Chain A
Amino acid sequence: MGLPQAKLDSTEARIAALSPLTGAAWIETAQAGALARLRAMGLPGRRDEYWRYTNPTGLNAPQAAAAAVFSVSDESPIYGNLDTLDIVFRDGVFDAGASDELSLEGVVIERLGEAALADIHWAKDVYGVLEERGQAPVQRPLAALNTAFAHDGILLRATGVVKKPIRFVYLHESETSDAMLHHVIKVEEGAELTVLENGPAAARFNKVMEVEVADKAAFHHIRAQGRDHERQAVTHIFARLGAESLFKSFTMTANGVMTRNEAVIELTGNDASAHIAGVALGDGDFHHDDTVFVTHDAVNCESRQVFKKVLRNGATGVFQGKILVKAGAQKTDGYQISQALLLDDNAQFLAKPELEIYADDVACSHGSTSGALDEDALFYLRARGVPRSEATDMLTLAFLAEAIDEIAAAEIAAEILDRLEGWLARRRG
């Protein structure tokens, strides 16, 4: 069955001005495969099942809409108290001068553009491979677009326990920037790696991160998407987990007219654990969509999805989360919670939790709620002398606590909490 003409047209219009990164046969094959996938799927449309709540028009358009650069001068940089290896991108382009030397014990760091020139490279088994695996049963055309046309990105191959976090810093400096980044991460058996990301990146940002977590390996990911109001972003994380491995990803999003974060996690080795969590804070023109798909394809694995949103003044939050337990994935422990705190009547939360289970010895639970602050709790705090605004913030942070608790490192959790407190405090009144 062919695609509707409108989809064909919009897809061709989007790619008309794009050219793939030049490289060796392995990457050109991956790019060609992705382009063929994209053409077969077409860009997303409002009638697509997974795009009912989020309008992809701005993400599809041939030109990125202009987005004013949001500058914060009165605020210390996030993760400022941490010792990190920084890799800086300005509007989606690697900046060697602003970055640290790409050298750290236990991990090999390369730029995509350089790795692409190598005739033989380990990334061949990951680049576009996990993305392609994630295209069924739900299509993710914007990820295929990225695989086909991304020019920059970082390749990380961790072979040991990496002592300090690697941080991607995404600076947005041009009002019309349209950036694509494709990162590939491989955490080898027994290795441990933490990747931090922060910043809005560009007026429009399309990012894919493919993560292969080998047996007994651990990968931690903590992301702060920046407080840029007008920027648009679509991001995908594709992860494949080996036996006894750990994958933890946490995202904080404050502001942004359009954010679609997809996470596609596959547990393929026994006793693996995957946690995906996020907090999103929206005030005004804000649309935030978390779309998560966790596939259990091994025995005795655990997965958690914890997503919390605080919305007001016209903000919209979306959660589409699925747990798929394949036949034979016995002893699966799956948990999913999505909750929205609606601070006024002019905010909305759209949730689509899904469970699909083909094994008979599993425990899966899910819950989704949206509501206002608990008036009884608010009165209780005020009756003890805590002013309304402070009490509201306390209860809001308490609401977010379950998601923040998903951050394993206490010092990173403290940085995130500090940001959240700041965001709330600026909106007191």
Chain B
Amino acid sequence: MLEIKNLQVKLEEEDKQILKGVDLTVEPGSVHAIMGPNGSGKSTLSYVLSGRGGYEVTGGSAMLDGEDLLEMEPEERAAAGLFLAFQYPVEIPGVGNMTFLRTAVNAQRKARGEEEISAADFLKLVRAKAKTLKIDADMLKRPVNTGFSGGEKKRNEILQMAMLEPKMCILDETDSGLDVDAMKLVSEGVNALRDGKRGFVVITHYQRLLDHIKPDVVHIMAAGRIVKTGGPELALEVEQNGYADILAEFA
């Protein structure tokens, strides 16, 4: 479903190549984990796929179900079914969380030619989904992410994911800033969305998230490329030995 071929990306502002030819194919229903040392380009990959400014694609392609992601505006990518759970969810004072969620859901429906969801149906849906993520009414009323703790922000990301029901989810270091309980909660939220069709790319530094969200495939990224691909055991190897051994093979 997600097909990335030889993706090369540099920063717009400076002459610095970040991605040097990334190849990645995610089949429907599968969970791919991307691990790798700091600065290897993991977050850049997530930003480029979701359409953030500041990057220049210098080669390669990224397709979602046959549609060229790189040709689309960020909102079009979202409507096409791509979702990025941010490493650092943005605080938006003055915009209510509920208003934001409803606007987003309806904007995507509209873009896909579907009918907008009624206020009552929306409320029912959001309440049910919020409950399983232990998001209370107060958090829904407050401005988007404003004054939220790290855990609250990440739970809010998963709530958005649950409401938007994307085809393809990219989780960028969703475990960062989470304590053990919060990580479990977030992971349960993600696992609830695994339905055999939806694809996931889970970017993380640590094996422990993958204890909760079990990946089918694990990739190691370094210096702008995917340098090794394997099964879940690859994550365990990283946990035990660090990246040095793996990277040494490619030095």
What residues make up the interface of A, taking CB atoms closer than 8 Å to B? 374-377, 379-388, 390-391, 394-395, 397-402
Contact of A385 among B52, B79, B86 (CB under 8 A): B79
Q: How far is the CA of A398 from the CA of B93 in the complex (A)?
A: 7
Contact of B86 among A380, A382, A386 (CB under 8 A): A380
Are the C-beta atoms of A382 and B94 separated by less than 8 Å?
no
What residues make up the interface of B, taking CB atoms closer than 8 Å to A? 50-53, 73-75, 77-79, 84, 86, 89-95, 100, 103-105, 107-108, 111, 143, 160, 164
Q: How far is the CA of A402 from the CA of B93 in the complex (A)?
A: 10
Shortest distance between the CB of A341 and any CB in chain B (Å): 11
Shortest distance between the CB of A398 and any CB in chain B (Å): 3
Chain A residues contacting B108 (CB-CB under 8 Å) are 384-385
Give 24 pairs: A residue, B residue, CB < 8 Å, sorted on A: A374-B90, A374-B92, A379-B51, A379-B52, A380-B89, A380-B92, A382-B51, A382-B73, A382-B75, A383-B51, A383-B75, A384-B100, A384-B107, A385-B111, A387-B107, A391-B75, A394-B95, A394-B100, A395-B92, A398-B93, A399-B94, A400-B94, A401-B93, A402-B94
The residue among A383, A386, A387, A395 with the most chain B CB atoms within 10 A of its own CB is A383
Given contacts A383-B84, A385-B104, A385-B164, contact A377 B90 (CB under 8 A): yes
Are the C-beta atoms of A387 and B92 separated by less than 8 Å?
no
Additional pairs, 14, CB under 8 Å, beyond known A380-B89, A383-B50, A390-B103? A374-B90, A377-B91, A379-B51, A380-B90, A381-B104, A383-B51, A385-B78, A385-B111, A387-B73, A387-B75, A394-B95, A395-B95, A398-B93, A399-B94
Chain B residues contacting A383 (CB-CB under 8 Å) are 50-52, 74-75, 77-78, 84, 86
Are the C-beta atoms of A401 and B78 separated by less than 8 Å?
no
Are the C-beta atoms of B78 and A377 separated by less than 8 Å?
no
Shortest distance between the CB of B100 and any CB in chain A (Å): 7
Chain B residues contacting A379 (CB-CB under 8 Å) are 51-53, 74, 90
Given contacts A398-B93, A401-B94, contact A384 B53 (CB under 8 A): no
The residue among B73, B103, B108 with the most chain A CB atoms within 10 A of its own CB is B103
Q: How far is the CA of A391 from the CA of B77 in the complex (A)?
A: 15
